[in-house]
Amino acid sequence: MRSIKIAVVTLALLTACSPAAPKQVRVTPPPSPPMAEHQIAPVPSPVSTTLRSEVRIDPVALAIVEARVRFDRGEELFKAGYLVRAKEEFDGAIDLLLDTAALFPNNRRIDREITDLVAQVHALELSAFKEGDGFTDQKGEHAVIDDLQHIETFPAPIDPKFKKEVEEEIAEFVHDLPIEINDRVLTFLDYYQKGRGRTTIEMGLERVGKYQPMIEQILKEEGVPLDLIYLCQAESAFIPRALSRAKAKGMWQFIPARGKEYGLRQNWWIDERSDPEKSTRAAAKHLKDLYDEFGDWYLAMAAYNSGPGRVTRAMNRTGQNDFWKLVEKKALPKETINYIPTILALTIIGKNPEKYGFNVAPARALETERVGVDKATDLRVIAETLDIPVQDLKDLNPHILRWTTPPNDSEFELVLPKGYATTFTEKIALLPDNKRVLFRYHSVQKNETLGGIARKHGMSVAILTQANSLSPKKPLRVGQELMIPVSGVGPATVAAAALKTAARTKPDPQASAATPQKVIHKVRKGETLDRIASNYRTTVSAILSWNKNNDLTVIHPGDQITIFPGNR
């Protein structure tokens, strides 16, 4: 398609560059020497001699066409989430124009095209930021536990026949939670079977298929009832990023403090409350601790919902240690009063959904494996390298808040589809830092401020401070490295293009405007040539060429390296 497009535009350019053809052109060729008998007469050219002499090819126009084709292809890749390949196309388009500008200096068309193309690439970058590209927390989803606030707690009249049918049906199945049948439980059973709760339970019955093998295995290992899986359904309907009005999060709805208590890490990069496996392990341990404290599963579940302190105070105030008696005395919050009957109703339906009119096929169980990632690596880079859909990778890792895995985190684990761990080790684990991420580093210069750096890179101070765990009040240090959240095609590209344009369109090395500025960089601990080259918008090969007298095969802290920023 690309070649066809170029051919069509080229033909148009050729036509546009040619003068209007005369109505009639008569060309008298010079006499030819007599031909030998064995010679073949030459085939006449389809283009007349006159036209052949007047056709002019416009190299600037052709370069613009080729650059536009590359940009269009890059834009398609960008929208599909393949930012690595998109960046290659964008860079190729801009480099082509810069090379042409060097051959045709002060050409207004090429200068205007460079400015326009770079602006369009920058616009894509900004639009991606607005959509949460990389450095905005992914949005939480509705937590069904909040719905319990809006359900009337007073039980509705129940048909005795219905109660008897439920009791008989329960006797046919094994339960490892005590299942008490009373009017409150039957009210919720009716609510989920015939009322507004039907849609919620249908979604839960489908999603449970993804996680049921994993959840039941962990509950079994922790020695708690397997029926507690329906507590998870009551909390979130198995949505890993469920977020309640109380800021509880994940399938098991941990508040921040309780999550930290059970080892669920929460920072700017990740929130393990949304990690299905780790949060399930934490929930099982927490429920077991509550059972050890109260000696009753109903009270343990009530404490899980409202907090052990509140349940203890209700018991002390009323002198009761039975959940249903606490309900009668309205000693517990409205949500908690509804909580236990909800779990029991969901357990009854979950054991035999067809009996209650639910014909929902459970989703296929997820088969995954985990790999350690101790360096910041963009999910799009991983997905593109492993040839798996970006959205699939995000869905497997709801605990990752950004597009990028956390930097310098030896404890972090990435979840992959089963069978991909070996490929990851072969293709991703050995990637250099500058190939892993779609953001750059900024080395703080003298008199620079957070506000100035943020404006330079087209972002807010809040994003810059959060990404680097900085205090807005603490002054920056000269030489301090800041991580700049860009997807690889933003303001840094604009700056680099401007520098390259200046260098290529003004080749006179004596001209002050074109003379590159030399910087002596002092190597800091942990730096690599790749990192240094990226910081100064140059290449490793260029750095090596500027330092021929120094052996940079291995660099050490304190080494001094000559660099011409923005030059390659």
Query: Which residues are 497's β-sheet partners?
Result: none
* 40: three-class secondary structure by DSSP: coil
Q: At what angle do helices 276-294 and 297-306 cross, to 10 degrees?
A: 120
Tell me how far apart the alpha carbons of residues 98 and 105 are, in angstroms, rounded to a whole number.
10
Q: What is the CA radius of gyration of the chain?
A: 34
The whole-angstrom distance between residue 392's C-alpha and the CA centroid of its chain comes to 11
Q: Choosing from 235, 277, 335, 413, which is the catalytic residue?
A: 235
Cβ-contact 340, 298 below 8 angstroms? yes
Asked whether the beta carbons of 231 and 343 are under 8 A apart, the reply is yes
Q: Which DSSP string corresponds to 202-226?
A: HHHHHHHHHHHHHHHHHHHHHT--G
Q: Please report the sign of the dihedral spanned by the C-alpha atoms of residue 538, residue 544, residue 545, residue 548.
A: positive
At 295, give phi and psi (nearest 5°).
Answer: 70, 20
Asked about 235 being catalytic, the answer comes back as: yes
Vertex 393: Cα angle to 392 and 395 (nearest 5):
65
- Residue 358 to residue 350: CA distance in whole angstroms: 10
Contacts of residue 466, defined as CB under 8 A and 6 or more positions apart, other chains included, come to: 135, 268
Residues facing residue 370 across a β-bridge: 415
Catalytic positions, written as ranges: 235
